[in-house]
A = this chain, B = another copy of it.
Amino acid sequence: MRTRPLKVALLGCGVVGSEVARIMTTHADDLAARIGAPVELAGVAVRRPSKVREGIDPALVTTDATALVKRGDIDVVVEVIGGIEPARTLITTAFEYGASVVSANKALLAQDGAALHAAAEEHGEDLYYEAAVAGAIPLIRPLRESLAGDKINRVMGIVNGTTNFILDKMDSTGAGYQEALDEATALGYAEADPTADVEGFDAAAKAAILAGIAFHTRVRLDDVYREGMTEVTAADFASAKEMGCTIKLLAICERAADGGSVTARVHPAMIPLTHPLASVRGAYNAVFVESDAAGQLMFYGPGAGGAPTASAVLGDLVAVCRNRLSGATGPGESAYAALPVSPMGDVVTRYHISLDVADKPGVLAQVATVFAEHGVSIDTVRQQGKDGEASLVVVTHRASDASLSGTVEALRKLDTVRGVASIMRVEGE
């Protein structure tokens, strides 16, 4: 074993960073044995230096992250600050000054992954980010390495714990969205401003990263269709139950049937209770992967939290340190396939549509005609009358999102259709 330690600069010492520092200290011997050299925490950049950080030598703490990264003796920079700046500049500076980088920054990777990978490659450094998607669940490495000899056709997952907690609560208790959100906030599963989670921004960033790796194609955040789950109602869950389904906020990355293009999207969807993703409870994450040779795989675990995210960061840290000792770098960006990313209108799936209609003869025929005119084939239809009004629940066969949108637009123009109560995609069949 080499005795000279590898030096690690830790940027950020919040929930994740403090766990990284703690494990680096308490498991120092194990890490050294697994890497082949000791790793030393050489500096910790924080915003509030006065805060007492148990187990961290105050002499290591600095507010000058840039100076820490530029020190010149740092082997690996661990970036757990989050957000775009100053994280982006610090990471590129780290490469310039001869350090590899381990990051948990999904927003930055989704937005600037290509440029960061290029910077890493230019300087012969590693950029690892297992912690950026689905917390502790090994997912980036399996997709990038274990399945490197396979052809991935679909990655579909629950990649946001906050929204899964809320949806699970609505499902199991019959609560409405606001009530379930309030509970998630009280228990610390949702932030004071839950927008990034409930509007699907967080999941969309992860979808962009996963799609890029799975399809060897650059997928930008703007390429990801995004729909939040704030409009999912208790009535939607009742409808889902009638179909033997539940509702999850899914990130779905798909290769088109002809293989010539890909799509990435985030939206709530009904999935059958028999699907492995349906039984993912609470704040857990799970990702379902379908490939040509391997078939169907699923990866399940805690998608967030200090210790789980730190586990992923440290796994990357060990890998990057090993690479450094052997003078090699791990796999970089793989975007050679450069497939076009199709818009949401091209996505083909099934739909569950609830309509409020007039309860009189001929309505069903009118509605069915509109579906037929737009080339959307109906699988089942169920009508319930009540006080001169009726609700019509239509479940379609597979159709493009564009066809479905056209159908709904035309339905809204029918005199007999009082309103479109809900439209939800049906996945996982």
Q: Which residues of A contact B (CB under 8 A)?
A: 19, 23, 27, 30-31, 33-34, 130, 136-138, 141-142, 145-151, 216, 276, 279, 291-302, 305, 307-308, 310-319, 322-323, 326-329, 331, 334, 336-337
Contact = CB atoms under 8 A, between A and B. Distances in A.
B294 A312 contact: yes
A319 B147 CA distance: 10
A161 to B, nearest CB: 12
10 contacts: A23-B150, A23-B293, A34-B334, A136-B295, A146-B312, A148-B319, A149-B314, A276-B279, A293-B307, A328-B328
Of the listed residues A31, A145, A322, the one surrounded by the most CB atoms of chain B closer than 10 A to its CB is A145
A419 to B, nearest CB: 39
Contacts of A294: 136, 301-302, 307-308, 311-312
Contacts of A216: 30, 33-34
A27 B259 CA distance: 13
A266 B389 CA distance: 61
A337 B31 CA distance: 11
B142 A138 contact: yes
Given A315-B149, A317-B149, A326-B328, A19 B293 contact: yes
Copies per assembly: 2
B148 A297 contact: no
Given A216-B34, A294-B308, A313 B149 contact: yes
A138 B149 contact: no
A283 to B, nearest CB: 11
Contact of A27 (B151, B318, B327): B151
B138 A315 contact: no
A413 B216 CA distance: 67
Given A142-B138, A145-B318, A276 B297 contact: no
A100 B112 CA distance: 36
A308 B292 CA distance: 9
